[in-house]
Structure 1
Amino acid sequence: MEISVGHTPDSDDAFMFYGMFTGKVPSPDFKVNHVIEDIEKLNRKATNPQLDVTAVSVHACAYIPGYTILRSGGSFGIGYGPIVTAKQQMTIDEIKKCKIAIPGKMTSAFLLLQLMIGKFDYVEMNFSDIPEAIKNGKVDVGLVIHETQLSYEQEGNIKILDVGEWWDKKTNGLPVPLGINVMKTDLGMETICKFDKHLQASIEFGLENIEDALEYAMQYSRGKPRDLIEKFVKMYVNEVTVNMGDSGEESIRKLFEMAKEKNLIPDFEISIATK
């Protein structure tokens, strides 16, 4: 079966798909054509289902009823996650008076920050442009994701809020639900579970061959040094990535429960692949 698979130009996604896309983890069931897009573009594309499988933000699942969440391939922070940065310390009240640069309205980081501090004024921009925008004074505050969580100090910025830490305390240690992979529901649960297992095997292969997988992932490093990329990959390709398990599923359901209570997302039925 030929399927289209969308993922981001990010090193953690590349690491996960290393085995699959290089043919080192073959499947008798699937021939994969991969499409690479920024996460917010993939989120928007999923609202009008085009790709058979795609990486999306967990937040986006509230707007993509045609997809089922896979149990493997998720990006979950373990006590860490998105951060808010600026050039100087601010109180939450001061932060809320600023226009905050965000990496997209459908990103999980945006939803999490709204849960943390309430609604706020924002401007959307590519996540990789946010640190520079703060440095140059285009915005005062930025919501930072991906490897820029680790490099913000190099741009002369400081961390003023830790969203991942807030979630960890708020939920008594549930993983921070950030990104996941989804598959078209109409392909049927049997096919979905087969692909889920294939993706899981690819992730496990990467973890078993970490140096080779990291080398492959470096093509999406955006000029960042290998040690930073390795640290980032090891943060977001973890045991919950291999299989979300009960804790990952609970964290996703908790996010949506909290968001619905605050009317931040529409009411919808979540679909998760069977175990």
Structure 2
Amino acid sequence: MKIAFSPCPNDTFIFHAWVHGLVPGSPVPEVTYADIDVTNTLAAVGQGPDVVKISYAALPWVLDEYALLPCGGALGRGCGPLVLTADEAVRTQGPAALAGRRVAVPSERSTAYLLFRLWAAQNIPGGVGEIVILPFHEIMPAVRDGRVDAGLVIHEARFTYHTFGLTLVADMGSWWEADTGLPIPLGAIVARRGMDLKALAGWIRSSVEYAWAHPEASREYVLCHSQELAPEVVQAHIDLYVNAFSADLGGDGLAAVRALLERAAREGLVPPVDMDRLLG
């Protein structure tokens, strides 16, 4: 069985037990580690892995081949993407000063970028100028060095952007939660239709539960894949992104996914989704 997920601490923490043969009855999978921009593409080309972590924003393009699993993903509160700048005009004038500017984002089909587009429609008259796609770990250096006017960041950048001398322009998660009252749906785990989805969900849920019960077991594995080596930052990342929704989306989680995709479809940003097919 082939699976693909990012090398970020929340993913490696969640999947450690399954990958290392610690989930009874599960096959040990063959793993591809890749950033979300790559995994979104892998799932969309029709020959992707059996199980893959993608952005919720990419779901509408892959639902013919994949179904959403109700666990293992990234969804929560207080964990949204951030818009950052080093530009003095944007620092002082706020979001409206991004009109016509260059903004770096981690993927065209990332949930971060979808949230940004929904937010920008309300907050940046006339819209931004050029969108520059960069791997997420390259965005803050690009903003700091003036190669772009602002950057949309994800993952542990929430905890480290001050070290780059950057200023927060807006928190997409805070905006989304205030606007909808719902948690933020960021990353989804999907599996090929025709597979035993119930068994897959059970293995992933068991892997999550093992990670919580034995946090020290995954520490070396998590750190060796993390692009942020400070242990305290890695732990903060895990604490924020691995939560109750990682074990089960539940009603609130599914409502958040529905709200995001339905709103984006109304704005013409994603194709309409048949929500009855979401979970297979």
TM score, norm. by length of structure 1: 0.93
**Equivalent residue in structure 2 for 1:233, among 223, 238, 248:** 238
**Equivalent residue in structure 2 for 1:117, among 108, 117, 120:** 120
**Are 2:187 and 1:179 equivalent residues in the alignment?**
yes
In the TM superposition, what is the alpha-carbon distance from 1:99 to its structure 2 partner? Answer: 1.2
Counterpart-to-counterpart distance in 1, 2:24 and 2:31: 15
Counterpart-to-counterpart distance in 2, 1:223 and 1:75: 18
Aligned to 2:20: 22
Aligned to 2:148: 139
Q: Is the 8 A contact 1:69 1:180 kept in 2?
A: yes
**Are 2:274 and 1:266 equivalent residues in the alignment?**
no
Counterpart-to-counterpart distance in 2, 1:169 and 1:141: 23
In the TM superposition, what is the alpha-carbon distance from 1:37 to its structure 2 partner? Answer: 1.3
In the TM superposition, what is the alpha-carbon distance from 1:221 to its structure 2 partner? Answer: 2.0
Counterpart-to-counterpart distance in 1, 2:217 and 2:186: 25
Counterpart-to-counterpart distance in 1, 2:168 and 2:197: 40
Counterpart-to-counterpart distance in 2, 1:26 and 1:128: 35
Counterpart-to-counterpart distance in 1, 2:211 and 2:136: 26
Aligned to 2:100: 97
In the TM superposition, what is the alpha-carbon distance from 1:212 to its structure 2 partner? Answer: 2.3
1:34-183 map, 5 Å? 34-49=31-46, 50-65=48-63, 66-87=65-86, 88=88, 89=91, 90-118=93-121, 120=128, 121-172=130-181, 174-183=182-191
AA aligned opposite 1:155: F
Total equivalences in the alignment? 267
The secondary structure found in structure 2 opposite 1:177 is strand
AA aligned opposite 1:108: T
**Are 2:5 and 1:7 equivalent residues in the alignment?**
yes
The secondary structure found in structure 2 opposite 1:105 is coil
Counterpart-to-counterpart distance in 1, 2:99 and 2:261: 23
**Equivalent residue in structure 2 for 1:208, among 213, 218, 223:** 213
Counterpart-to-counterpart distance in 2, 1:77 and 1:95: 27
Counterpart-to-counterpart distance in 2, 1:247 and 1:264: 23
Q: Relative to structure 2, which stretch is displaced further, 255-264 or 79-88?
A: 79-88
Q: Is the 8 A contact 2:262 2:272 kept in 1?
A: no
The secondary structure found in structure 2 opposite 1:273 is coil
Q: Relative to structure 2, which stretch is displaced further, 158-167 or 113-122?
A: 113-122
Counterpart-to-counterpart distance in 1, 2:102 and 2:53: 28
1:69-93 deviation line (CA, Å, top 9, x unaligned): 0001110131331000001414222
AA aligned opposite 1:169: A
In the TM superposition, what is the alpha-carbon distance from 1:26 to its structure 2 partner? Answer: 3.0
Q: Which runs of 5+ in 2 are unaligned?
A: 122-126
Counterpart-to-counterpart distance in 2, 1:149 and 1:264: 26
TM score, norm. by length of structure 2: 0.91
Q: Which runs of 5+ in 1 are unaligned?
A: none
Q: Is the 8 A contact 2:119 2:175 kept in 1?
A: yes
Aligned to 2:124: none
Counterpart-to-counterpart distance in 2, 1:162 and 1:144: 10
Aligned to 2:226: 221
In the TM superposition, what is the alpha-carbon distance from 1:219 to its structure 2 partner? Answer: 1.2
Any runs of at least 4 consecutive aligned residues in structure 1 with deviations exceeding 4 A, and if so which?
A: none
